[in-house]
Amino acid sequence: MSVRVRYAPSPTGLQHIGGVRTALFNYFFAKSQGGDFILRIEDTDRERYSDESLQDLYDTFSWLGIEWDEGPDKGGEYGPYVQSERFDMYREYADKLIAEGKAYKCYCTPERLEALRTEQQKDKKAHQGYDRHCRDLTPEQQAEYEKQGIKPVVRFKIPLDGKTVFHDVLLGDVKRKNSDISPDPVLLKSDGFPTYHLANIIDDHHMNITHIMRAQEWLPSGPLHILLYQAFEWDPPTYCHLPMVMGKDGQKLSKRHGSTSLRDFIAKGYLPEAIINYISLIGWAYDDSREFFDKADLEKLFVLEKLNKAPGVFDYKKLDWFNGQYIRKLSDEELKAKIIPYLQDSGNVDNPPSEAQDAMLNGLIPIVKERLKLLSDIVPMTAFLFSDISGYPAEDLIPKKKDAASTLEILKLGRPLIEKMAELGPDGEAQDEALEAAFKALSEESGFKLGELLSPLRVAVTGSRVSPPLFASIRLLGLKTALERIDEAVKKLE
**Catalytic residue IDs:** 255
Q: Is 136 annotated as a binding residue?
A: yes
**Judged by CB under 6 A, does residue 11 bind ligand GLU?**
no
If phi > 0 it is left, if psi is from -120 to 50 it is alpha, else beta; for residue 270 that is beta
**Judged by CB under 6 A, does residue 184 bind ligand GLU?**
no
Q: Is 300 annotated as a binding residue?
A: no
Select the residue interacting with ligand GLU from 3, 8, 108, 442 (CB under 6 A). Answer: 8
**Judged by CB under 6 A, does residue 218 bind ligand GLU?**
yes
Per rule CB under 5 A, count of chain residues that contact Zn ion = 4
Among positions 130-169, residues that touch Zn ion (CB under 5 A) are 133-134
Q: Which of Zn ion, ligand GLU, none binds 452 (CB below 5-8 Å, type-dependent)?
A: none
Which of 79/366 has CB closer to ligand GLU? 79
Helix/strand/coil percent split, the chain, to 5:
50, 10, 35
Residue 440 CB neighbours (<10 A): 12
HEC states along 443-460?
A: HHHHCCCHHHHHHHHHHH
Stretch of residues binding ligand GLU (CB under 6 A), selected from 4-12, 144-152, 367-375, 382-390: 4-12
Burial 48-85 (b: 16+ CB within 10 A, else e): ebeeebbebbeebbebbebebebbbeeebebbebbbee
Q: Which of Zn ion, ligand GLU, none binds 71 (CB below 5-8 Å, type-dependent)?
A: none
Q: Answer for the pair 235, 206: CB distance below 8 angstroms, yes or no.
A: no
Closest approach of ligand GLU to the CB of residue 302, in Å = 18
d(CA 472, CA 459): 14
Closest approach of ligand GLU to the CB of residue 217, in Å = 8
Q: Is 249 annotated as a binding residue?
A: no
3-state secondary structure of 177: strand
Contacts of 23 (CB under 8 A, 6+ apart): 7, 9, 61, 66
Q: Is 108 annotated as a binding residue?
A: yes
**Judged by CB under 6 A, does residue 86 bind ligand GLU?**
no
Stretch of residues binding ligand GLU (CB under 6 A), selected from 2-10, 86-94, 115-123, 436-444: 2-10
- CA-nearest of 339, 397, 403 to 368 is 339
3-state secondary structure of 114: helix
Select the residue interacting with ligand GLU from 53, 60, 164, 200 (CB under 6 A). Answer: 200
Q: Is 402 annotated as a binding residue?
A: no
Closest approach of Zn ion to the CB of residue 105, in Å = 8
Among positions 103-132, residues that touch Zn ion (CB under 5 A) are 106, 108
d(CA 227, CA 177): 12
Q: Which residues bind ligand GLU (CB under 6 A)?
A: 8-10, 42, 200, 214, 218
Binding-site residues for ATP sit at 255
